[in-house]
Amino acid sequence: MSKTNDFPQPEAWYHHFVSYGETDTMGVLYYAEYLHLFERARGHLIRERGISYAEVERRGVILPVREAQCRYRVPVRYDDEIFVRVAVSEFKRASMKFAYEIRDKDKTTLHATGMTEHACLDPDGKLFRTPDWLVDMFKP
Amino acid sequence: MSKTNDFPQPEAWYHHFVSYGETDTMGVLYYAEYLHLFERARGHLIRERGISYAEVERRGVILPVREAQCRYRVPVRYDDEIFVRVAVSEFKRASMKFAYEIRDKDKTTLHATGMTEHACLDPDGKLFRTPDWLVDMFKP
Amino acid sequence: MSKTNDFPQPEAWYHHFVSYGETDTMGVLYYAEYLHLFERARGHLIRERGISYAEVERRGVILPVREAQCRYRVPVRYDDEIFVRVAVSEFKRASMKFAYEIRDKDKTTLHATGMTEHACLDPDGKLFRTPDWLVDMFKP
Amino acid sequence: MSKTNDFPQPEAWYHHFVSYGETDTMGVLYYAEYLHLFERARGHLIRERGISYAEVERRGVILPVREAQCRYRVPVRYDDEIFVRVAVSEFKRASMKFAYEIRDKDKTTLHATGMTEHACLDPDGKLFRTPDWLVDMFKP
């Protein structure tokens, strides 16, 4: 499996079967659907680290997406069984980044790579320093 | 044009080009997307009657969908130019219904028919009598 | 659990966490998303009965949705853990129906009920008699 | 209006009202929906230049997305009236790029910027040189 060692840790793998509703008339997973999968994988990672993202928000931390990017390499088709690999790739003073890969069921073929950057906001929508408990959650 | 005279009045026609993201691997408009189109047509009708649905909510009336139904007759494809016909078909004491048709650009081919039923709630989520100003908005 | 005994058999339960992208500004699962969940549950049921829906199509049976209906009872929110219950409710000469329920993680609260009806088409898009192997797949 | 002069030409503006189904529980346009809007704006631009994207495909040119990126600056809310500005920003030997902006109804507030890069494929899925007639379509 290429690049395994380079991927930030700790990671999580979100398992998914591609549905009809996610594909388009070209017969492949529609490009906007990758961002939905990234969000689900993100939620899955946070849940595996101990709490849900809903709980993160209840603790007063809102993490809206400030930037998203995806590189589409090998098309994914209807009924394909895929994995979304996800990890936090960087913490900055008031933001954080996640890295993503979409791989086939054997985790070999690399279908896509992506990233999202999130601002760290308080409930009033003000930027504030990423709290230690959040940073600690993603320590190896 | 079939059934024209039977359709409740006043009506509105929402114009739309089918995008890639709305189609599926069978090459047709995905069945859940019809409900998105119904919502847009509904918003368009309300706007044509004088205010936006956002304004309806600001006036204290929330209209969540209680039931939705769609009959798919003739598939719609990518880049098809279509019209969604919409009108209020019924007011009940604390609810209302909308009727829909999806037609081609000539308004002849009937691609689909549908309906949605909406509860009439106050901002606290309690059922209440559909206000007169709302009923009056949809008088011919 | 209400109505358990009435639900057609054999059934399957599709497990799901509600994502941000499925909710709307009212804070609940958007009404069109229920049809996406129905499709995923349908695919899950077919897979549990032995083959995937993609394989059904490869065997020459296309099952496009002819009608869909959903009754929304109790709103579902972001991060809610839910189950979609699904079964074939009826076989007709050249069509079939599925029944659905959306329930909470304890399978007690009934959030929604729904149905879809599917035509049975050959690869040329012609109606044909539902094949025995398909009917047999859904025998208890 | 900031940056107007820097935006590649010829440009098109795609008009849109944000629907409920495009928003999320945070009350804003969901981040994946921006890519749907980019696609619609792209189709609108191509149509304004003389033919539809469906016609481009019929002429043997497939333009799958190879990369997409979006920078989210100011949230967009339900019922907001917005414009998506779009233009071809670059032609390469066998690919092309589009640039996007999402602006409010006055075209002043800049809600988001983005780009998509598309491979130029023949009907067999092979990379080939972007044809002259396609390049010429986007000449000022």
Supply the pLDDT for residue D1.
Answer: 45
pLDDT at B3 over 90: no
Q: What is the pLDDT of residues A58-81, one digit of tens each?
A: 999 999 999 999 999 999 999 999
Q: Can you tell me the mean pLDDT for B31-59?
A: 96
pLDDT(B100) > 90: yes
pLDDT at B1 over 60: no
User: Given a cut of 50, is residue C1 above it in pLDDT?
Assistant: no
pLDDT at A133 over 50: yes
Asked if the model's pLDDT at residue C109 lies above 50, the reply is yes
- C-alpha distance across the termini of chain B, in Å: 21
Cis bond upstream, residue B10 (ω within 30): yes
Looking at residue B4, what is its pLDDT? 52
Among D45, D18, D43, D48, smallest CA distance to D112 is for: D18
Chain mean pLDDT for chain D: 95
- Banded model confidence at residue C5, pLDDT cuts 50, 70, 90: low
- Taking residues A33-44, report their average pLDDT: 98
Please, what are the domains in chain B? 8-133 (3.10.129.10)
A19, A40, A53: residue with CB nearest C39: A19
**pLDDT tens string D110-136:** 999 999 999 999 999 999 999 999 999
The answer to whether B49 and B39 are in contact (CB under 8 A) is: no
Residue A70 CA to residue A51 CA, distance in Å, equals: 27
Chain D residues inside the 8 Å CB shell of B47: 17
Whether D16 has a pLDDT exceeding 90, the answer reads yes
Chain A contacts of C15, Cβ < 8 Å? Answer: none
Residue D5's pLDDT is what?
Answer: 60
Task: Give the model's pLDDT for residue A5.
Answer: 60
Contact B52 D20 (CB under 8 A): no
pLDDT at B53 over 90: yes
b/e C58-78 (16+ beta carbons within 10 angstroms → b) = eeebbbebbbbbbbbeeebeb
CB–CB of D20 and C20 under 8 A? no
Region C37-66 average pLDDT: 96
Cβ contact, residue pair D66, A72, below 8 Å: yes
Check pLDDT > 50 for residue D2. Answer: no
A2 band by pLDDT with thresholds 50, 70 and 90: very low
Q: How confident is the model at residue B5 (pLDDT cuts 50, 70, 90)?
A: low
Q: How high is the pLDDT of residue C2? A: 47
Rg (CA), chain B: 15
**Of A107-121, B1-15, B49-63, D92-106, which range is least confident?**
B1-15
Percent of chain A with pLDDT over 70: 96
Query: Count of CB contacts below 8 A, A vs D?
Result: 53
Query: pLDDT band for position B23 (50/70/90)?
Result: very high
pLDDT attached to residue C140: 86
Listed in sequence order, the residues at least 6 apart from A1 whose beta carbon sits closer than 8 Å to its beta carbon are A103, A107, A108
Query: Distance between CA atoms of B105 and B17, rounded to whole angstroms?
Result: 10
What span, in angstroms and rounded, lies between the C-alpha atoms of C42 and C137? 13
ipTM: 0.94
- Nearest-angstrom CA–CA distance, B79 and B98: 26
The residues of B whose Cβ lies within 8 A of any Cβ of C are: 26, 28, 31-33, 35-36, 39, 62, 64-72, 75, 116
Partner-chain contact B17 D39, CB within 8 Å: no
Q: In chain A, whose CA is at the least distance from the CA of D54?
A: A25
B36/D30 Cα distance (integer angstroms): 15
CB atoms C25 and D30 under 8 Å: no
